[in-house]
Amino acid sequence: MPMMKNVVGLDLGSHSIKAVELRQTLRTLEPAQLRLHPSTDDESDLPELLRRFFRTHHLPAEHVIAAVPGHHISSRRLEFPFGDRRKLAGAVPFEVEGEVPFPIEDLLVDWEVIRGDRNHAVVAAAVVQRKHVAELVSELSLANCDPRVLEAEGFVLANLATLFDLPGTRLLADLGHRKTTLCLLIDGKAVATRTLPVGGEAITQALARDRGVDLEVAEQSKCEDGIFQLGFNSSSPGALAVVDRIAREIIRTLESLEAVIGGAADARVSAVTLMGGTAKLHRLDEYLGQRMGLPCEKLALPASEEGAALVAGGDPLLFAPAIALALRGTTRVATRMNFRQQEFAYRTDFRQYFGKEIRPTAILAAGVVALLGASVVTQIVLDSRRAARLEQQVAQLYSEAFPDEPVPDNPIAAMRAAGVRARDRADFLGVYGGNRSALDLLAELSRRVPADLEVKFEEVSIDRRVIRIKVFSTSFEAADRLESQLAASDPFREAKIDGEVKASRRRDGKTFNLTIPLAVPGETS
């Protein structure tokens, strides 16, 4: 059974709260549920609203991912003449401090490398005041859905590129109720974001003013009929002006980022992708595309079957930000920003793991640990006894080898040292086979040669295994007799004439080479 983790992406929209629950296994990502609940204008009711929302839909609160609203975030693009992440960690806050009108102590900064190498780095940094993070963490904690990660609202949209088909350079535009969040993607990586304080609510208000109706009627008319009549004419100039403002702000944003995208927007940006509730407005994508002079499209379903299945439970336009947040907690992640740092870092409450449901498992685990401990102690005792027996045996061997010496604390080291000393002495004295020195061997040779045997040793060479002698004799018989005399006793029993007996050219007699392999007791020569 693969290990599973349920992740909830929580989008705290001003018009509705949306949650996407994904089930992450070791190999796959599975859909669980996509839920939506109308929001409220009374922010003091948010914790109670979230508690009811999670309770109603049985949403797990152990692994929640949320985001700091974009209007609280300031983004910066920074360049550095080095790419080491440890150096960047210290340099980014220092650079940010010089560009914002707040003390660095009052801010939280997170960043990601857009591109770079060892000698250069381009960084996208996000800055938020600590008080805004403190307020959000407090509200979510009161709602019993303490988030593990607090992302930057605009940057987190880049996670959609791991699921949806969003290639090349494009602008993601999340058209919300009260604001529009922009995210510039280059090859699936967020390089810049911006939040505009205008959204669907402004269109509704303009419709209500132009038509002399209340906001509820204007909202219903906007959702059912749209704002456009034949062509792109509109009976509400105010609503059209709001849409035009959004188009102008998108163009201004892209123009300010020409250095980032490498040229003019109409030549470099492949499309503007719309999402959010306001993106559902009839023909809005066509109108914005015409006004901006750029391809404009609504976020489409993922091309793969697996991706389409993940979002089949809800409208991708509405749930796109929540999907991006949920993906942040899975292996399909493109962003790593997190404002839950320093005093706001997420801390696991281990008390939840000791409830009634897990108590039997905990008792069983404690029993296993106790048995394992007993096994380890028993093994240690057995090994200790075995070591004591070995020490006694080594001490006995030392006493037998050195009967006149007391047993030292480390007999093995002492015997090793004694062996080294014996070998050094043998090398110094020239000890050869049979534990005899070179002098002993020469003396033994002299004793074994009969006095009446007329031979003369002209050259003698002794090494550890063999004696080589160049011999001069008066006859062939002397050579045979010498060989038989030496072979009659140790350590010369392997003595033999090596090669032929030759006549000497310089004098009257014979020369031959005698080879005597040395016999070592207990070995064969």
SS3 245: helix
- Determine the Cα–Cα distance for residues 227 and 219; give it in Å rounded to an integer: 11
Higher pLDDT, 450 or 161: 161
Q: What average pLDDT score do residues 96-117 get?
A: 91
Query: Which of 63-72, 354-363, 429-438 holds the top average pLDDT?
Result: 63-72
Q: What average pLDDT score do residues 161-187 get?
A: 95
pTM: 0.68
SS3 182: strand
Q: 226-240, 350-364, 505-519: which range is least confident on average?
A: 350-364
Q: 2 falls in which pLDDT band (50, 70, 90)?
A: very low
Q: What average pLDDT score do residues 234-248 get?
A: 93
pLDDT reported for residue 91: 94
pLDDT reported for residue 506: 67
pLDDT beyond 50 at 41: yes
pLDDT beyond 50 at 92: yes
Q: 274 falls in which pLDDT band (50, 70, 90)?
A: very high
pLDDT reported for residue 525: 41
Nearest to 495 by CA among 481, 514, 474: 514
Query: CA-CA-CA-CA torsion for 437, 438, 443, 448, nearest 10 degrees?
Result: 100
pLDDT beyond 70 at 504: yes
Nearest to 158 by CA among 325, 391, 381, 287: 325
Higher pLDDT, 490 or 110: 110
For residue 408, whether the previous peptide bond is cis, meaning omega lies within 30 degrees of 0, is: no
pLDDT reported for residue 344: 93
Higher pLDDT, 313 or 294: 294
Q: What's phi and psi for 461, nearest 5 deg?
A: -130, 125
Nearest to 320 by CA among 28, 36, 5: 36
What is the per-residue DSSP string for 40-102? -S-GGGHHHHHHHHHHHHT---SSEEEEE-GGGEEEEEEEES---HHHHHHHHHHHHHTTSSS
pLDDT beyond 60 at 353: no
pLDDT reported for residue 120: 93
pLDDT beyond 70 at 70: yes
Q: What average pLDDT score do residues 6-28 get?
A: 91
Nearest to 240 by CA among 197, 279, 284, 276: 284
Q: What average pLDDT score do residues 56-75 get?
A: 95
Q: What average pLDDT score do residues 233-254 get?
A: 94
Nearest to 181 by CA among 292, 286, 279, 65: 279
